Structure 1
Amino acid sequence: MTVDLTVHAARQRVSEPLLDARLVVDRGGFRLDLPLTIDSGEVVALLGPNGAGKTTALRALAGLLALSDGHLTLAGQVLDRPSSRSWVPTEQRPIGVVFQDYLLFPHLNALDNVAFGPRRHGLDRRQARRQAADWLHRMGLAEHARRKPRQLSGGQAQRVALARALAVDPALLLLDEPLAALDARTRLDTRAQLQRHLAAHPGATLLVTHDPLDALVLADRLVIIEHGQVVQEGDAATITAQPRTDYVARLVGLNLFRGHARGQTVLLADGFRLTTAEQHDGDVFVAFPPSAVALHPDRPAGSPRNTWPAAISGIQPNGDNLRVQLSGPIEVAADITPLAAAQLHLVPGQRVWAAVKATETRTYPAAPA
C-alpha cells in the first residue's frame, strides 16, 4: 500500500502544471482576474483586444507589478501571494522575457547581450560568454556575435533577444508581441524559427499577442481575455469552430450572432430571424464565414433561406478578395472577388441584397445571458 501511494503521489506531482496562478490585479477602475496554468513544454497564447489586461498579466508574472489578490506559483515556488505576504523580486524569478521592442543593450554586442543574464546568475565572464556563444550558434547567429544591436536586422535582433531570455534556463518564458516589430517577410521566416525554438524549450511559455496567426502557429492552447476576464479557452480547433464573443469571432474571421432557437429558426435580439441547417431549442450562437455571404443588386430568388436588404459601409482588401462591411438589420462582413465587386459596381453607401444559405451556417448552444 505504501508503494502504491508513493507512486500515486509521484504521478500527481508530474501532472501538476509548471505555472499555477490566479492573477488578480486592481488598477483604478480596472480589475484583472485571470486563472492561468501552463504545463512544462507547453506554449499558451494570451489574446485579447487593447485594454483587456494582457500587458497587466505579463507584468504581474514578471514581477513588475504586484498582485492585489490570488497567487503565483512557478515550479513549486511561490513568487507572489498577497494573503501570506510572499513576494519574490523580479531579478530573482526564474523567468525570461522577450519584449516587443527587444530592449537589447545598445552598447553591448550580441554576445555580451546574451551573456548578461548568465553573468547576473553568478557565472564568471568566460563561462557566461561561452554559454552565450552556444546560444547564438543555436540561433544561427554565431557570425554576428560581435555586432551591436544597430548592426542587426529586425529578425536577427529578435533572435538575440530570444537567446538572451533562454540563456538563463527560465522555468517560464514570456514573449510580449515578439514578432510585431518585423515586416511581413521577416515575420514569416522568424515565426518558423521561433516555432522550432519553442518546441525545444522544456519550460512553460506564455505568448502575449494580438495576432491570431502567431497564436495559431505557435501555441498549443489559447486563452482569450476581455475586460480582465477569460471569455474563452481551448485549442485552436475548438475556438475557431465555436467562437463565443464578437472579438473572438472577428479574430477567427467569422460573423457571429446570438439568439434564441426554435427548431431551425433563430430569433436575434433585434427581432431579425435567421434560418439554420441544424435544429436547436434555447440560447444559441449562429456563425458563418464572410465567404458565405453573397451580394446581389436585387432580391435573389431560389435556394438562399436568409436574405435581407443592406448598405455597404466599407470595402477593404482582404488577401486576394475584398472584405465588404454591410449595415442593415444585422451587421455582417462579406468576402467577394474583385471581379464580382466590379460587376456590382460596389461603392460605400450603395444598397444591395445579402444572402446566406442555411447550410452555410453553424449553430451551437450558448449559456443563458
Structure 2
Amino acid sequence: MADSPVTLLDARLVVRRGEFRLDIGLRIEPGETVALLGPNGAGKTTALRALAGLAPLQDGHLVLDGRDISELPPEERPIGVVFQDYLLFPHLSARDNVAFGPRRHGMDRRSAHAVADRWLERVGLAEHGRRKPRNLSGGQAQRVALARALAVDPVLLLLDEPLAALDARTRLETRGELRRHLAAHPGATLLVTHDPLDALVLADRLVIVEEGRVVQEGDAATITARPRTDYVARLVGLNLYRGRGDGHSVAIADGLALTSTDTVEGDAFVAFPPSAVALHPHRPEGSPRNTWAAVLADVQRHGDNLRVRLDGPISVAADITPAAAAQLHLEPGRELWVAVKAAETRAYRA
C-alpha cells in the first residue's frame, strides 16, 4: 500500500436506479472504520456496489489512496469485499477460497497458499483449511470471507451486513472478533448495516443515510445524544421533536412548549428518553413544567419494563415498570397526564 494521504477514501457517489437517486459524500481516513447506517431502501447497498465497481457512477468522483479509480473495473480496484451471504466458492476449500485473491493478482500457487494459511491462522481457522464452505458453521464462513477479503491487502475493505446471517449467539462472539480484526486493518473500512449495535460496536464514525442522502454523521456519542431525524431518534431510543427555540423553551405544537436546561434560539430539536417520562392518572399537583394530557394508544413489553405510546398534542413513548402500569390501570383510550423533567430534556439547534 502506498503512503496514505490524510484521507484514504474521498468519494462522492451519484447513482440513479429507476426513480431512486443516491447522492452522498464519503471520506475515510487510514485505519478508520465508518458505518453506513440507514433503513431498508436508503441506498446503503447501492453505495457499496458503486465503490466496488458493480454499479456505475452517473456523477461524482471516487479517489482511493490518491488515485481516481472510478473508471477501473471491479477486479482492478484495491478493494476487498465481504458480502452479506459471504459468497464463498462452494467447490473450493477454505484455504483455496482465501488464496483466490492473491492468485488472481499474479501470485504463484505456493505463495498464495502461504498467505492463505497465515490469514486462516489469524482468524482462528488454521485447522479448517481443507473444509468446503458447506462444512463450515456460519461464524466460520464469515471469518473465511473476511480472510479472503483481507488477503489481497486492500486499501478499502467493504463489509455488507457481515453479521446478518448469523444467529444471536454466534453474532455476539463474531462481532468481538471482527472488531479486533478491523482495529488491526491499516486501510479504510466501510461497514454497511441497518443494525445500530453493529455500527456502534464496530465503527469509529457513523454516517446515517435516508432516501439516498446523508442526514447525519459523527461519532456514536454525538449521534446518540443529538439525533436529527425520526429514524435516528428511533434508532437510539429517544423521543424527538422539532420546533422553535426561545431561550430555555422550545415550542413544538399548538399550545405546547417543552422546557429544557439547555438554551437554544430559532429552529431547534428537543429530545428525551422514554425513561424520562412519568405518567399520572390526574394532573400533577403544582403544575410542573412539561406536563400535558394524553391518551394511551399502545403498550408493549420492553425488556423488564413496558413501552407505552401515547397520543395527544405530540406522540410520545414512555417506559414504566409493570407495577406502575398496574396502578395506572392501563388500557387503550385511557386518559393520562404526561410529565417530563426539564433536566432530562436536551434542546439543540436544528
TM range, smaller chain: over 0.9
Q: What's the offset of the Cα at 1:25?
A: 1.0
Question: Aligned runs of 1:351-362 on 2, under 5 Å?
Answer: 351-362=335-346
Cα distance between partner residues in 2 of 1:289 and 1:321: 14
In the alignment, what sits opposite 2:14?
24
In the alignment, what sits opposite 2:119?
135
Q: What's the offset of the Cα at 1:223?
A: 0.8
Cα distance between partner residues in 2 of 1:145 and 1:269: 62
Deviation per residue, 1:312-358 (Å, 9 max, x gap): 33333333322222222111111122332233343444332221111
210, 214, 228: which is aligned to 1:244? 228
Deviation per residue, 1:48-107 (Å, 9 max, x gap): 112211111001000000000011011122111xxxxxx100111111111111111222
1:206 is aligned to 2:195: no
1:61 is aligned to 2:51: yes
Question: Structure 1 108/270 Cα, relative in aligned 2: closer, same or farther at 3 Å?
Answer: farther
In the alignment, what sits opposite 1:75?
65
In the alignment, what sits opposite 2:251?
267
Whether the aligned pair in 2 keeps the contact of 1:303 and 1:357 (CA below 8 Å) is no
Deviation per residue, 1:259-308 (Å, 9 max, x gap): 11223322115443222223332121111011001122222224741122
Cα distance between partner residues in 1 of 2:331 and 2:101: 56
1:227 is aligned to 2:237: no
In the alignment, what sits opposite 2:264?
280
State the secondary structure of the residue aligned to 2:69.
strand
Question: Structure 1 262/196 Cα, relative in aligned 2: closer, same or farther at 3 Å?
Answer: same
Query: Bigger CA drift: 207-216 or 341-350?
Result: 341-350
Question: Aligned runs of 1:88-103 on 2, under 5 Å?
Answer: 88-103=72-87
Question: Aligned runs of 1:88-167 on 2, under 5 Å?
Answer: 88-167=72-151
Provide structure 2 residue ranges, at least 5 long, that are not aligned to the other structure: none
Question: How many residue pairs get matched?
Answer: 348
Whether the aligned pair in 1 keeps the contact of 2:5 and 2:66 (CA below 8 Å) is no
Question: Structure 1 359/120 Cα, relative in aligned 2: closer, same or farther at 3 Å?
Answer: same
TM-score normalised by L of structure 2: 0.94
1:38 is aligned to 2:22: no
Cα distance between partner residues in 1 of 2:201 and 2:235: 14
Question: Aligned runs of 1:293-304 on 2, under 5 Å?
Answer: 293-302=277-286, 304=288
TM-score normalised by L of structure 1: 0.90
Question: Structure 1 14/115 Cα, relative in aligned 2: closer, same or farther at 3 Å?
Answer: closer
1:365 is aligned to 2:349: yes
Could you tell me which amino acid in structure 1 is paired with residue 43 of structure 2?
Answer: G
Cα distance between partner residues in 2 of 1:162 and 1:42: 17
In the alignment, what sits opposite 1:7?
none
1:188 is aligned to 2:178: no
C-alpha RMSD over aligned residues: 1.7
Could you tell me which amino acid in structure 1 is paired with residue 108 of structure 2?
Answer: D
State the secondary structure of the residue aligned to 1:137.
helix
Cα distance between partner residues in 2 of 1:194 and 1:15: 25
Could you tell me which amino acid in structure 2 is paired with residue 77 of structure 1?
Answer: R
